[in-house]
Amino acid sequence: MIAPSKAFVAALALIFLAGCATTGLSERAVLTAKDRVAPALVHIRPVKEVFAEGQRREMVVVGSGFIIRSDGYIVTNEHVASEADYVRCVLSNNEQLEAKVVGIDPDIDIAVLKLVAEEGRTFPTAKMGASASLTAGQTVLALGSPHGLARSVSRGIISVPNRYLAAGDEMASNYHNWIQTDAAINRGNSGGPLVDLRGEVVGINTRKLAFADNVGFAIPID
């Protein structure tokens, strides 16, 4: 048996170390991106009035959102916050505050909330990115509260940066195409941020394709 040369062994070692360094760098980038936006992440529990069998009942809905201004303005989906009597918000430090619905736009499925807090209080905010420059294969993170599990993070890629859905589709929109991603988006993720590796919000997680595995859609932040 011929022993491998020192040069061959050294080359193998360099390839192995380079692979480890790449893996480590990728993981650090994910953690850094998550840490940049997590303080602005909000677990949203709107309380809506419903009538069943002639009786008034309160129904608690679960969704996600993120703070966009330091004075407490939050972005989420319209289908999460519309028709809410009031909204409970759980911040990243587990503090619970109420919020008012200050604006909705059903056409693009966006709602804006305002946290009710003492005058002059400031909150951590998420940094806005740009969705126009997204490319297929780019790594992204979906943050939110899937099935009520607050502060969850899923990792994936951009599958298609501008997925067109024809009129008549339940996810069609008059004003935008969708960011399609394989980062897991489930019920409760709605309104949460889709984040790139710079820790900037590039989309708003909104829907998933029924009966499909990890085919989700986000509203482009632009």
32-34-36 Cα angle (round to 5): 70
Alpha carbon distances (Å) from 14 to 8, 10, 21, 22, 117: 10, 6, 10, 12, 55
Residue 205 · residue 193 · CB < 8 Å: yes
Distance CA 86, CA 99 (A): 7
State yes or no: is 190 an active-site residue: yes
Handedness of CA 144, 112, 217, 141 (dihedral sign): negative
Which strand (E) or helix (H) includes residue 153? strand 152-163
Residue of 43, 64, 109, 145 marked active site: 109
Residue of 43, 64, 79, 196 marked active site: 79
Q: Radius of gyration over alpha carbons of the chain, in Å?
A: 21
Q: Which of 215, 129, 137, 126 is nearest to 178 (CA)?
A: 215
State yes or no: is 92 an active-site residue: no
State yes or no: is 109 an active-site residue: yes
Residue 180 · residue 215 · CB < 8 Å: yes
Residue of 64, 145, 159, 190 marked active site: 190
How many whole angstroms from its chain centre is CA 124? 16
Q: Active-site residues: which are they? A: 79, 109, 190
